Structure 1
Amino acid sequence: MTPSEIAPIPAPRRRPRAAANGMLARVLLAFLATAGLFYVNIMPALVDGLVAGLDFTKRDAGLVGSLNVYGAAVGAFAVVLVVKKLMWRKSAYALMLTLLLLDSLSMMITSPVLLMAMRFLHGVIGGALVGIGFSVIARTVDPDKTFGMLLLVQFGLGGVGVMYLPRLVPEYGTSVLFLSLIAFTLVTLLMLPFLDDYPVEPAPKATAGRIDKGPLALTLAALFLFQAANMGLYAYILPLAEAAGLGTEFTSRTLGQAAWVGILGSGLVVLFSTRFGRTLPLLLAIGLTAAGTWGLHLSAQEWVFWLANVGIGVTWAFVIPYLLGMAAAFDRHGQMAALGGFASKMGLASGPMAAALLVGEGNYGLLINLAVVALILCIAVMLPPARLLDRH
């Protein structure tokens, strides 16, 4: 047999992958950056489900959710230190498999203290995964658009969760809450192979190491305040509505609708990115969030409760992509984006923690007022870095 008669060995086919900066890749990255923290998007259902399904006190149920997010903050901060050196895809596989194990174990726990410990550990792993996701997003072109897609995925699927899970807990128990988290992680695992490699790009020597620490710190503070203000109320929105005399079915439907309508906010970010700058859009959106939050004082009127929640849903999904995009704008390695994720999670955890300590048997008026104050402070600290980035 001559060499010419020998059939060439075909080269192994490379798995098809989504274009690095295409819309499909932005969707896949949104799932990656959500998988470790999806419980935040169903936080009202989680808190209410632990009270209804396991007879936890409102304080204990709030602390379970809060410690889950505090753990995520720890994991996100740890990733900031090593994200440039990580093989992000292999790390994501390992972290998601661990999340599946911890969510499965959580279904078997009925003790508040043990569940707090388990969810804190789950948070550490999930926070590390989200930090990796944020760092990869920062390596894309126009990360603001990808962060907008992130909020679109979170609000869309979170809306399904808060609409249906509270109704399923009485029939199927709290296991249904953790099964929803397991399902989301499994779907994300199937998506991971189709993402591009997103290597770390070396920074030009002239700009290497240059980070405006003052504006960055203000951006992180704005993220913390905005998330704390919103999540502190969101975690207790079901009992707040109940105290106002609203039915569970109406409240769950309203929250689901608010999340779905909130998709408009993230969609606007994907559509416009920074075409109109950051300062004016953020000023208007955070101001509207404060107005909607104050409107919750009038929750006894169904139309006010509905309008306030829908308005906050839109502005929440609009503001966070811009603030995360601002953090990502300070470097292209992804470290500052991961640090932005840490600040965001600290806010998401601190809001429910403060609420759990202050709410008592129903001090919701105080929670609303504190949230409004935090949002006004958010505007004050957001303006300088937003103006700086707009000038550049």
Structure 2
Amino acid sequence: MPKPLPTPSLPTGSGSRAQVDVNGWPAILGAVLLGTIGVLLFIIQPGIVQAYVTHLGLTEAVAVNLAGIEMLGVALATIFMAIRGVGFDWRHVVAAGLITAAAGDFGSLGGGHGVSFYGARFIAGLGEGTIISISFTFVGVTVRAERNVALYLSLLLTYGAFGLWYLPLFLSAFGLGAMFAGFGGLSLLALLTLPLLPRAYSAEAMANPEARQLPRSLLVVALGGVLAYNIAQGIAWAVLFLVGTGAGLAEQSVADALFLSQILAVGGALASVFLAGRIHRNAAIAFGILAGAGSIALLVGRPGMALFVVGVCGFNALWNFVLPFILGRVCDFDESGQMMSYAIAMQMIGLGSGPLIAAQLLDGTGYRAAELVCIALFIVSYGLLLLPIRRHAALRSRAPRLG
């Protein structure tokens, strides 16, 4: 798992009157709820893409591109927060993010009206990315970070499972407008969690016994591996529902398969927590990435229901299993403790650009090109990560870190 950041130190002065116990259950649950609000749409993105096709009459390429526009907003907000976010009052930032996300959702109520709809989804993405960044950081600075990350992932994946399962029925009964209005209302309701947030934290270098300083060139290679992995994830996640319906499966059957995959993803996330320290991190990374590529390979062509279920379940469970190991190992490549923020930025860029790339690969004849590019990026990501992994292993075997 990623190494926890130091416990937040609250600013002194008038802002310190409302002291927050960041390790208390109210604060932790507030951060977990905020994190779930931040991914309300992304975690059910395959179903949303299908809804853009069936309810707005968009082509598949346009629908995937629209999802990518929103994720671009998420990526840009996360990058900004990684570079400058530490200097701001967290409560003010989260409030702005929640209001921005709500504005984008309420601005989407017309649905499918060209540039205005694209703009509304981009604005929603900016708000969502801000919320995701703060909530992820907050959970990471708690003392029992592994437990709290597991709680975080379990809640959002459980929501994702039931959201994907029920989405076709909900949209048939109420339409996209009701969904966007509900998301906007939940974002505004989440303003109630603001008093549970600390104002800020000051990050200091951590004592990480596994950290070894790699050359800057290898740090760039490692971040390239994180980026390639998440581009592959972004491509796959955007087209999974389309792959199922394109193979002749009923929408609700595809939703059922994705529901099961989200349930198993909870297991994958929890497995990464319980197995951390018990299995070799490098072996977990190799298995998770390459087996993930194999899961997507099962979906090439026109998979039957059984093969589709195996493929999407393997993909989703392995995604949530291996990502903490990847982030944890990347943090071991730099002794300053700054790699996590850069890696999270690469993750958001990858997830944001994945749908935009996938949209260019859909020509109306199938999904083979998108699937093959996804598989290739998985393999490239492992190859890129393998170079710094080997150098890190060599440095560790040469001499133990002192201090």
TM-score interval (norm. to shorter)? 0.7 to 0.9
Provide the C-alpha distance between the structure 1 equivalents of 2:229 and 2:165, rounded to a whole number of angstroms.
Answer: 24
The alpha-carbon distance between structure 1 residues 292 and 58, as it changes in their structure 2 partners (threshold 3 A), is same
Instruction: Tell me how far apart the structure 2 counterparts of residues 274 and 387 of structure 1 sit (CA, whole Å).
Output: 19
Are residues 184 and 294 of structure 1, via their aligned partners in 2, closer, same or farther at CA, if it must alter by over 3 Å?
Answer: farther
The answer to whether the aligner puts 1:265 opposite 2:268 as a matched pair is yes
TM-score w.r.t. the length of structure 2 is: 0.82
- Over residues 272-323 of structure 1, what are the superposed CA-to-partner deviations in whole Å (9 max), with x where a residue is unaligned? 3344342111111112111111001264321111111111111111122233
> 1:362, 1:50 → 2: CA distance?
18
**CA offset at residue 166 of structure 1?**
2.1
- In structure 1, what is the Cα distance between the partners aligned to 2:38 and 2:154? 16
Secondary structure of residue in 2 paired with 1:342: helix
State yes or no: 1:171 paired with 2:195. Answer: no
Name structure 2 gaps, 5 residues minimum: 1-16, 207-212
CA 216–37 in structure 1, closer or farther in 2 if over 3 Å, else same: farther
Is contact 2:214–2:388 with CA below 8 Å preserved after alignment?
no
Q: What displacement does 1:256 show?
A: 0.8
Secondary structure, aligned partner of 2:303 = coil
User: 1:150-189 alignment to 2 at 5 Å?
Assistant: 150-182=152-184, 184-186=186-188, 188-189=190-191
Q: Secondary structure at the match of 1:380?
A: helix
1:47 aligns with 2:52: no
Q: Specify whether residues 148 and 282 from structure 1 end up closer, same or farther in structure 2 by C-alpha distance, changes over 3 A only.
A: farther
Counterparts in 2 of 1:257 and 1:194: CA distance versus 1, 3 Å: same
Asked if structure 2 preserves the Cα contact closer than 8 Å seen for 1:138 and 1:333, the reply is: no
> Equivalent of 1:314, from 295, 311, 317?
317
Q: Is the 8 A contact 1:103 1:181 kept in 2?
A: yes
Return the offset for 1:111.
0.9
- What is the aligned partner in structure 2 of residue 70 from structure 1? 72
Question: How much has 1:332 moved relative to structure 2?
Answer: 10
Equivalent residue letter for 1:135: T
TM-score in terms of structure 1 length: 0.84
SS in 1 for 2:107: helix
Give the partner amino acid of 2:50: D
Q: Which residue number corresponds to residue 367 of structure 1?
A: 370
The letter of the residue matching 1:245 is G
Task: Determine if contact 2:266/2:320 at 8 Å carries over to the other structure.
Answer: yes
1:117 corresponds to = 119
> Residue type matched to 2:196 in 1?
F
The match for 1:133 is 135
**1:180, CA displacement in angstroms?**
4.5
Residue 96 (structure 2) aligned to one of 67, 90, 94: 94
| Deviation of the 1:265 alpha carbon | 0.7
Q: Measure how far apart 1:82 and its partner are.
A: 1.4
Q: Is the 8 A contact 2:282 2:389 kept in 1?
A: yes
Unpaired runs of 5+ in structure 1?
Answer: 1-13, 205-209
Q: Distance in 1 between matches of 2:337 and 2:162?
A: 31
**Mapping 1:187-202, distance limit 5 Å:** 188-196=190-198, 199-202=201-204
Residues 219-263 of structure 1, C-alpha deviation per residue, up to 9 Å, x if partnerless? 432332222212212212222212211111111100011011110
Q: Which residue of 2 aligns with 1:6?
A: none
Structure 2 counterpart SS, 1:296: coil
- Three-state SS of the structure 1 residue aligned to 2:230 is helix
Aligned partners of 2:333 and 2:388 also within 8 Å = no
Q: CA deviation at 1:216?
A: 3.7
- Return the letter of the residue paired with 2:103: L
Alignment length (residue pairs): 374
Q: Indicate the RMSD between aligned Cα atoms, in angstroms.
A: 3.1
CA contact (8 A) 1:37 1:72 kept: no
Q: Report if aligned partners of 2:26, 2:196 keep a CA contact under 8 Å in 1.
A: no
Alignment of structure 1 residues 1-392 onto 2, 5 Å = 20=23, 27-141=29-143, 143=145, 146-182=148-184, 184-186=186-188, 188-196=190-198, 199-203=201-205, 213-297=216-300, 299-326=302-329, 336-386=339-389, 391=396
Identity, in percent, stands at 23
| TM-aligned CA distance change 1:69 to 1:270, over 3 Å | same
Letter in 2 for 1:380: G
